[in-house]
Chain A
Amino acid sequence: MPRSATDPAPASAPSSETDFAARYDVIIVGAGVAGCALAQALAQADVEGRRSILVLDLHREVSPRFSGEFIHPRGATVLDALGFMPALLEAGAVEVDGFVVREHADTDEPVRLDYASVPNERARGVSVHHKRLVRCMRQLAAENPQVSLRTPWRVTDVLTQPAKARNARDARIWGVVAKGPGGRVVELRADLVVAADGKASSVRKFAGIPDARRNLGFTAGLEVADAAQSNPLHANVYLGGPGPMLCYPIIREADGTLVSRLTFDLPKDLPAKGRELAPYLLETFVPHLPERLAGQVAAALEAQAALGPVEMAPTFDLPAPPATAPGLALVGDAAGCSHPITASGMTMGLLDAHYLALEASRRASVAADEAWLDDRALRNFRVEHERYVPTRQALADAIFEAFRGEDNGARGIRRALFHYWRSGERQRVRSLALLSCAERRPHVFLSEYLKTARHVVGSNMTPRHAEHFPVRDRLRQVHGAVGLAGTKVGLVASVAWSQLRPTWLTA
Chain B
Amino acid sequence: MTAMLDDATSTTRASRAGTARPSTPADTRLSPLEAAIARSRGWCQEWWARIHGPTPWLVAVPDIGPTCEVLLADALFHDLSDEEREGMLAWVRAEQHEDGGWRNLDGELDLSLTCLGYWARIQGGEDPQTPALVRALRLIHELGGARKANLTVRLWLALADTVPWSWIPAVPAELYLLPEFLPLSPARLSPWARQMVNAFHLMAESKARIHLYPARELLLLRDGELIPPRLTSPGLAGDMLQAFDQSIKLTRALPRGVVHRRSLNQAMIWLEGSQQRHGGWFSARPTLYSLLALRVAGAHSNDPRLVRGLAYLRRARGQVEAGGAVHLAQGLSDRPLAKVARLGRVVNLEQDDHETGEALRTRVLAAELAHAGPWQRRADAPVGGWPNEERGHRHLDLRATCSVLATLRSEPARTPAVRASLRRAAEVLLAMQERDGSFARFERGESDVPLSRLPWRDADQLNLGAPRDSGKVVLTAMVIRELASLGWRREDDRVARGLDWLFNAFEHEAHGWSVSTLAGVVRAFAAQLPPTDERRAAAEQALRKRQWEDGSFGDELSTARALITLLELQPRGVPCVQCERAARQLVGRVGLLARERASVPGASFSAPLPGYGLSPRLRDPGAGVRDLHLALVRFAERTRKPKSKPTEPANRDATLRD
- A residues contacting B by CB (< 8 A) are 105-106, 240-243, 267-269, 271, 280, 282-288, 291, 294-295, 298, 405-408, 463-470, 472-473, 476
Please tell me if B491 contacts chain A, counting CB pairs below 8 Å: yes
- B residues contacting A by CB (< 8 A) are 180-181, 187, 376-382, 409, 414, 416, 418-420, 422-423, 426-427, 431, 435, 444-445, 484-489, 491-493, 530
Q: Which of B379, B422, B493 contacts A408 (CB 8 A)?
A: B493
* Cβ–Cβ contact B486 & A242, under 8 A: yes
* Cβ–Cβ contact A467 & B376, under 8 A: yes
* Cβ–Cβ contact A465 & B380, under 8 A: yes
Q: What's the Cα separation between A167 and B485 when bound, in Å?
A: 48
Q: Which of B378, B419, B444, B485 contacts A294 (CB 8 A)?
A: B419
* Cβ–Cβ contact A470 & B489, under 8 A: no
* Cβ–Cβ contact B419 & A465, under 8 A: no
B197 to chain A, nearest CB (A): 18
Assess A240 versus B378: contact at CB under 8 Å? Given A271-B489, A468-B181. Answer: no
Tell me the nearest residue of chain B to A281, going by C-beta: B487
* Cβ–Cβ contact A465 & B180, under 8 A: no
> B489 contacts which chain A residues (CB < 8 A)?
242, 267, 269, 271
Which 5 A-B residue pairs are closest in the complex by CB-CB distance?
Answer: A284-B487, A242-B487, A468-B181, A287-B419, A466-B380
* Cβ–Cβ contact A468 & B486, under 8 A: no
Q: Most A CB atoms within 10 A — which of B376, B380, B423, B487?
A: B487
* Cβ–Cβ contact A406 & B492, under 8 A: yes
Q: Which of A243, A283, A466 contacts B379 (CB 8 A)?
A: A466
A296 to chain B, nearest CB (A): 11
A241 to chain B, nearest CB (A): 6
* Cβ–Cβ contact B381 & A465, under 8 A: yes
* Cβ–Cβ contact A294 & B493, under 8 A: no
What are 24 inter-chain pairs, A to B, with CB distance below 8 A?
A: A106-B382, A106-B420, A106-B423, A240-B423, A240-B427, A242-B492, A267-B491, A269-B489, A269-B491, A271-B484, A271-B487, A280-B487, A282-B414, A287-B419, A287-B422, A287-B426, A294-B416, A406-B491, A465-B382, A466-B377, A466-B378, A467-B180, A469-B380, A473-B435
Q: Which of A241, A291, A468 contacts B377 (CB 8 A)?
A: A468
Q: Which of B487, B493, B530 contacts A269 (CB 8 A)?
A: B530
> A472 contacts which chain B residues (CB < 8 A)?
435
Tell me the nearest residue of chain B to A286, going by C-beta: B419
Q: What's the Cα separation between A295 and B416 when bound, in Å?
A: 7
Q: Is the interface of A mostly helix, strand, loop or mixed?
A: loop
> B381 contacts which chain A residues (CB < 8 A)?
465-466
Tell me the nearest residue of chain B to A284, going by C-beta: B487
Q: Which of B380, B409, B487, B493 contacts A241 (CB 8 A)?
A: B487
* Cβ–Cβ contact B376 & A465, under 8 A: yes
> B187 contacts which chain A residues (CB < 8 A)?
468
Q: What's the Cα separation between A484 and B379 when bound, in Å?
A: 24
> B378 contacts which chain A residues (CB < 8 A)?
466, 468-470
Extra pairs beyond A284-B485, A470-B444 (7, CB < 8 Å): A241-B423, A242-B488, A242-B492, A271-B487, A294-B419, A298-B414, A405-B492
Assess A291 versus B420: contact at CB under 8 Å? Given A465-B376, A466-B377, A467-B376. Answer: yes
> A241 contacts which chain B residues (CB < 8 A)?
423, 426, 487
Tell me the nearest residue of chain B to A474, going by C-beta: B380
Q: What's the Cα separation between A95 and B171 when bound, in Å?
A: 69
* Cβ–Cβ contact A243 & B487, under 8 A: yes
> A285 contacts which chain B residues (CB < 8 A)?
487
Q: What's the Cα separation between A106 and B419 when bound, in Å?
A: 12
Q: What's the Cα separation between A243 and B486 when bound, in Å?
A: 11
> B418 contacts which chain A residues (CB < 8 A)?
287
A39 to chain B, nearest CB (A): 40
B214 to chain A, nearest CB (A): 44
* Cβ–Cβ contact A287 & B423, under 8 A: yes
Tell me the nearest residue of chain A to B492, going by C-beta: A406
* Cβ–Cβ contact B377 & A287, under 8 A: no
> B485 contacts which chain A residues (CB < 8 A)?
283-284
* Cβ–Cβ contact B380 & A464, under 8 A: yes
Q: Most A CB atoms within 10 A — which of B426, B427, B444, B489?
A: B489
> A271 contacts which chain B residues (CB < 8 A)?
484, 487, 489
> A286 contacts which chain B residues (CB < 8 A)?
414, 419
> A280 contacts which chain B residues (CB < 8 A)?
487
* Cβ–Cβ contact B492 & A287, under 8 A: no
> A268 contacts which chain B residues (CB < 8 A)?
491
Q: What's the Cα separation between A106 and B422 when bound, in Å?
A: 13
> A267 contacts which chain B residues (CB < 8 A)?
489, 491
* Cβ–Cβ contact A283 & B486, under 8 A: yes
> B382 contacts which chain A residues (CB < 8 A)?
106, 464-465
Q: What's the Cα separation between A336 and B414 when bound, in Å?
A: 41
> B487 contacts which chain A residues (CB < 8 A)?
241-243, 271, 280, 283-285
